[in-house]
């Protein structure tokens, strides 16, 4: 079983077989265009609306009409941020918030440790994520309710994994592939005020998002939402147990630390080891058959240190040796204990190699 050694679930999760099973008919005979009048179209639109209900249920939204399907969280974030030119975003946001924010001329709030410093005066717009993809740190976007006229949250790392609280949130983004659904599908939740569309050229999604609906993917998102609602408690408990096992398994190692602060997602473990390169550790683990990450997958191919880790003020020595282990439904406690053992021996091996290279150089 390969999935049990895949510890990069914050980058993406494997498709749940129950999700695949629900999607398959819509990749076969159920190919209709959801906006066609005939029976093929009717079958497709019925499945789309059922998926919308399931997503609304997972979010605890009042009305399925508050859910608009998008190609993922990146699109949902871009859609929201394209509509606001004054305001700010949090300091720990994903680049799918930071880059559209720069385009729109939004400010970036400062960080107070792993907390977000509140703005001096209320802002027209603010976007704060619910869970961080690199650290797992959890925030409560609603604590900024009084600081912003319009409040958006990128909930990509918490939806489907932890309970969603939409109280006081105007807009929220989510993505199916972070909770065992397919890639390339997500949604924007809108409390009341629909935003002018980002994509125009068709009247799908009530004219809010043009383009032929990706029915099988939408069905997959709906199925993933239904499974998540059923298994969330068990999944979170399982993740917490595995996370604790890895931390415990590393106790014999010298000079390491856990990042992310007190309130962290059970699904993410960010750890730094002094004196090694995170990338080398990722490669060592890959050789042993384990997938972990040296940061956010989206930025781990760039040589720049992550803005999230740098803003925490981590010493460059520690920063370099940072890796992320992210847990999911298909990992096992046994594989997590094994992972800790492989981490331990790999860190020791890399440190010895580093010491030898250091000696040769002097």
Q: Using alpha carbons only, how large is the chain's radius of gyration in Å?
A: 21
d(CA 11, CA 296): 7
Considering only the stretches 153-161, 187-195, 213-221, 237-245, report the one whose residues sit in contact with ligand PMP under the rule CB under 6 A: 153-161
Site string for ligand PMP, 60-89 (x = CB under 6 A): ------------xxx---------------
Contact 15, 220 (CB under 8 A): yes
Q: Shortest distance, CB of residue 18 to ligand PMP, whole angstroms?
A: 21
Q: Residue 189, CB half-sphere, CA atoms under 13 Å: how many?
A: 32
Does 104 interact with ligand PMP (rule: CB under 6 A)?
Answer: no
Chain-centre distance of CA 251, in angstroms?
28
Does 336 interact with ligand PMP (rule: CB under 6 A)?
Answer: no
Does 133 interact with ligand PMP (rule: CB under 6 A)?
Answer: yes
- In 3D space, the residue among 133, 108, 148, 98 whose CA is nearest the CA of residue 12 turns out to be 133
Place of tokens 């093929």: 40
Place of tokens 């009409």: 65
d(CA 164, CA 59): 6
What are the beta bridge partners of residue 174? 187
Does 129 interact with ligand PMP (rule: CB under 6 A)?
Answer: yes
Query: 256 or 267, CB closer to ligand PMP?
Result: 267
- Using CB under 6 A, pick the residue from 298, 317, 355, 358 that binds ligand PMP: 298
Q: Shortest distance, CB of residue 56 to ligand PMP, whole angstroms?
A: 19
Query: 116 or 342, CB closer to ligand PMP?
Result: 116
Q: Shortest distance, CB of residue 158 to ligand PMP, whole angstroms?
A: 9
Q: Total residues at the site for ligand PMP (CB under 6 A)? A: 13
- Using CB under 6 A, pick the residue from 47, 88, 96, 340 that binds ligand PMP: 96
CB burial of residue 199 (10 Å; 0-12, 13-18, 19+): middle
Closest residue by beta carbon to ligand PMP: 72
- Using CB under 6 A, pick the residue from 186, 197, 260, 266 that binds ligand PMP: 186
Q: Give, for 342, the enclosing helix (H) or strand (E).
A: helix 333-361
Query: 48 or 96, CB closer to ligand PMP?
Result: 96
Catalytic residue among 46, 110, 298, 353: 298
d(CA 70, CA 90): 23
Q: Shortest distance, CB of residue 239 to ligand PMP, whole angstroms?
A: 16
Query: 70 or 280, CB closer to ligand PMP?
Result: 70
Does 152 interact with ligand PMP (rule: CB under 6 A)?
Answer: no
d(CA 68, CA 203): 13
Q: Give, for 101, the enclosing helix (H) or strand (E).
A: helix 95-104
Does 322 interact with ligand PMP (rule: CB under 6 A)?
Answer: no
- Using CB under 6 A, pick the residue from 175, 270, 331, 346 that binds ligand PMP: 175
Query: 115 or 332, CB closer to ligand PMP?
Result: 115
Q: Give, for 325, the enclosing helix (H) or strand (E).
A: strand 322-326
Known catalytic membership, residue 298: yes
Query: 84 or 273, CB closer to ligand PMP?
Result: 84
Residue 361 DSSP one-character state:
H
Contact 285, 336 (CB under 8 A): no
252-263: b (≥16 Cβ within 10 Å) or e: ebeebebbbbee
- Using CB under 6 A, pick the residue from 9, 127, 147, 157 that binds ligand PMP: 157
Q: Shortest distance, CB of residue 8 to ligand PMP, whole angstroms?
A: 11
d(CA 48, CA 217): 9
Residue 254 DSSP one-character state:
S
Question: Scanning residues 228 to 247, which ones bind ligand PMP (CB under 6 A)?
Answer: none
* Binding positions for ligand PMP, rule: CB under 6 A: 72-74, 94, 96, 129, 133, 154, 156-157, 175, 186, 298
What positions carry a catalytic annotation?
A: 298
């Amino acid at each position: 079983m390969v999935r049990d050694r895949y510890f990069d679930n914050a980058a993406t999760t494997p498709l749940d077989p129950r999700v695949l099973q629900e999607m398959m008919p819509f990749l076969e005979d159920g190919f209709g265009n959801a906006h066609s009048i005939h029976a093929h179209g009717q079958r497709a639109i019925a499945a789309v609306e059922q998926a919308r209900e399931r997503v609304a249920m997972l979010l605890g939204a009042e009305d399925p009409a508050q859910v608009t399907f998008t190609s993922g969280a990146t699109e949902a974030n871009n859609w929201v941020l394209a509509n606001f030119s004054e305001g700010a975003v949090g300091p720990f946001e994903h680049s799918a918030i930071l880059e559209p924010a720069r385009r729109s001329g939004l400010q970036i709030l400062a960080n107070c440790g792993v907390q977000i410093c509140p703005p001096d005066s209320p802002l027209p717009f603010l976007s704060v994520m619910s869970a961080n993809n690199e650290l797992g740190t959890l925030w409560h976007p609603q604590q900024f309710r009084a600081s912003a006229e319009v409040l958006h949250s990128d909930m990509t790392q918490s939806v489907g994994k932890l309970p969603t609280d939409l109280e006081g949130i105007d807009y929220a983004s989510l993505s199916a592939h972070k909770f065992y659904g397919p890639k390339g599908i997500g949604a924007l939740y809108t409390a009341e005020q629909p935003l002018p569309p980002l994509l125009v050229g068709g009247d799908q999604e009530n004219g809010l998002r043009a383009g032929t609906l990706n029915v099988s993917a939408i069905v997959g998102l709906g199925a993933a939402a239904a499974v998540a609602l059923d298994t969330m408690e068990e999944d979170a408990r399982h993740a917490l147990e595995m996370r604790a096992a890895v931390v415990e398994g590393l106790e014999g190692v010298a000079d390491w630390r856990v990042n992310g602060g007190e309130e962290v997602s059970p699904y993410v473990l960010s750890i730094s080891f002094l004196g090694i390169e995170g990338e080398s550790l990722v490669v060592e683990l890959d050789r042993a058959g384990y997938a972990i990450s040296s940061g956010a997958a989206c930025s781990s191919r760039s040589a720049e240190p992550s803005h999230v880790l740098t803003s925490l003020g981590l010493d460059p020595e520690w920063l370099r040796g940072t890796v992320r282990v992210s847990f999911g439904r298909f990992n096992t406690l046994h594989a997590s204990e094994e992972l800790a053992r492989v981490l331990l021996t790999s860190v020791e091996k890399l440190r010895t190699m580093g010491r030898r290279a250091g000696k040769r150089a002097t």
